[in-house]
A = this chain, B = another copy of it.
Amino acid sequence: MNPIDRLSEMFEHFPGIGPRQARRFVQYLLSAPQSTRAQLADTVSKLGQETLQCKRCYRWFTKTEARQKENQMLCPICADERREHSLFVVEKDADLEQVERAGFRGVYFVLGGTIPLASEEPHKHVRLKALVARVEGDATDKKLQELILGLSATAEGDHTRQYLVETLESFAQKFNFKITSLGRGLSTGSELEYADPDTIQNALSSRH
């Protein structure tokens, strides 16, 4: 395959990109100066060497931000002693960034996805073993007061949450921490008239 088609095909694997936009990306790069292409290629190829996946929360971060702690290279959030002892489980890095932006002051664990409804091998879809180890470790160190399950408000998110609750509730009892889920209800800006019955029921259950 020629380099134009090959590059176009690579861009088609990018999230949310179809064949037409992939081609526009290639055109953009063709018209750009060689230095722009060189810089992009350089940054992409060095991405692996300059970033680390945190051994505690599994998010990706820049190596220069890494801090040595107990013989592990941790991300700035996991290394920060002032963080509260609530562990927020998210599906992916982008969710973590949103929660951080909302002002959460605890710590995180990036699950790496959700468990499909029919899956018989949940551990193939999410970091189950790593989560259990993290929970056990934090709990043993008395660093876990609450486990917040921040899954999507979808069927697959709910399924994953239930699976995690079942998997972790014995730990919760043994180590005396709470397992909670994000509140459901009216999202900011929404009106009752356009809310679905499920959301109204949730908003009623979580009224306060």
Is residue A107 contacting chain B, with contact meaning CB distance below 8 A? no
Is residue A101 contacting chain B, with contact meaning CB distance below 8 A? yes
Can you name the residue of chain B whose Cβ is closest to the Cβ of A3? Answer: B50
Can you name the residue of chain B whose Cβ is closest to the Cβ of A41? Answer: B45
CB distance from A80 to the nearest CB of B (A): 17
Can you list 27 A-B contacts with CB-CB less than 8 angstroms, sorted by A residue number?
Answer: A4-B51, A7-B40, A7-B43, A7-B47, A10-B40, A13-B28, A15-B25, A16-B24, A23-B97, A27-B60, A30-B51, A92-B193, A95-B193, A99-B192, A101-B197, A152-B191, A153-B188, A153-B189, A154-B189, A182-B203, A183-B203, A183-B205, A183-B206, A183-B208, A184-B203, A185-B202, A188-B202
Interface residues of A (CB under 8 A from B): 2-4, 6-7, 10, 13-16, 21, 23-31, 34, 37-48, 50-51, 53, 60-62, 64-65, 90-95, 97-99, 101-104, 148, 150-154, 157, 180-193, 195-208
